[in-house]
Amino acid sequence: MTTTRAEYRVPSAEGDATDGASRLYSALGTGHSALPAGRWELRRGALGLDRPVVMGILNVTPDSFSDGGRFFDPRHAIEQARRMAGEGADLVDVGGESTRPGASAVSADEEAARVVPVLRAIREALDLPVSVDTRKAAVAREALAAGADVVNDVSGLGDAEMASVVAPSGAGLVLMHMRGTPATMQGLTDYGDVVDDVAAELGEALARADAAGIARERVVLDPGIGFAKTAEQNLELIASLDRIGARLGRPILLGASRKSFIGALLGGVPADARDAGTTGACVAGLARGARLFRVHDVRAARQALDVAWAILRTPARAP
Ligand code: HH2
């Protein structure tokens, strides 16, 4: 079996993640005691959260909102995975269905046919954990058989079969918050307090994972930026990530890359011109408690997050 980098990215004794998070929270004056766990258990090892984790996006689709069609050919997809690994990705997230608002549905067979060869080739060629971005249990089952280390489920175990597919595999699990489907979600943005409501609904997904016997150490949570959220609600959620992490006791993954709220903030710049704005969102998210970042531009995120993390972990000198 190939040894993955995940096995080596565990927190070191002196750079312990809990200590780092603790100093960060205290530097920011947020004062949370329920800190996120220091590592994320995957199938073949663990990813340490002693520095920000970068998840590179690889959409093997003809129609994703920013990179649709670019990596639809498996050879281009594998080249892109290799490039992202060289730029410092900690894992690569392979998706075969666009979930942009209004995207048309893809059958499980078609989705699996897109992602499985790419997952298998990445597992063979690269020393990097690989994740499958799917909300279908049938696709997750095939992806896990092909060696996927993580299931990234944007529906938060919405498919009744998903938890029982993931549980025995030992894979990591991303539980993302959304309401409805990509076709209906933008009409489902009625919240009382968006942060409390998203945390409560993620808590229900976490309970579904618990009931299936998926250990908490295998789970990270994602507020689902752009999924049944207005632009304003996206900002409120990113500003309050530490509240969600502290309430549910799991690390937070932020997926803001190139999303439309960034375009809206910048006067309508198109998706392929939003990487600097994305970097801003990642750094702000880091300061507010996110530890994992799903991005298209790995090089920019890696640099920005490592530098921001080093500064945020340094105690401010008293005058
Ligand atoms: N966003 C998208 C897809 N998968 N997974 C997680 N965990 N978090 C996210 O925010 C997230 C996600 C949508 O972005 P993208 O993959 O770039 O586009 P598309 O759905 O059009 O393929």
Q: pLDDT 10s digit of each residue in the chain, 319 long?
A: 333 444 434 333 333 333 333 333 333 333 333 344 489 999 999 999 989 999 999 999 988 887 778 888 888 989 999 999 999 999 999 999 999 887 878 999 999 999 999 999 999 999 899 999 999 999 999 999 999 999 999 999 999 999 999 999 999 999 999 999 998 998 999 999 999 999 999 999 999 999 999 999 999 999 999 999 999 999 999 999 999 999 999 999 999 999 999 999 999 999 999 999 999 999 999 999 999 999 999 999 999 999 999 999 999 999 8
pLDDT, residue 64, reads 84
Q: Ligand 1 center to residue 25 CA distance, Å?
A: 28
pLDDT, residue 72, reads 83
Separation CA 208–CA 204 (nearest Å): 6
pLDDT, residue 31, reads 35
Which of 82, 27, 84 is CA-nearest to residue 54? Answer: 84
Specify the ligand 1 atom closest to the Cα of 176. 7
As given in the structure block, the two tokens for residue 166 are 């993931």
Return phi, psi of residue 54, to 5°.
-110, 125
As given in the structure block, the two tokens for residue 318 are 């008293």
- For residues 109 and 70, the answer to whether their CB atoms sit within 8 Å is no
Specify the ligand 1 atom closest to the Cα of 65. 21
pLDDT, residue 16, reads 37
Identify the residue whose tokens are 């499985």. 116
Q: Is ligand 1 within 6 A of the CB of residue 253?
A: yes
Catalytic residues: 259, 294
Mutate to test the pocket of ligand 1, among 99, 139, 250, 252 (most ligand atoms within 8 A of CB): 99
Q: Is ligand 1 within 6 A of the CB of residue 133?
A: yes
Mutate to test the pocket of ligand 1, among 54, 58, 65, 229 (most ligand atoms within 8 A of CB): 65
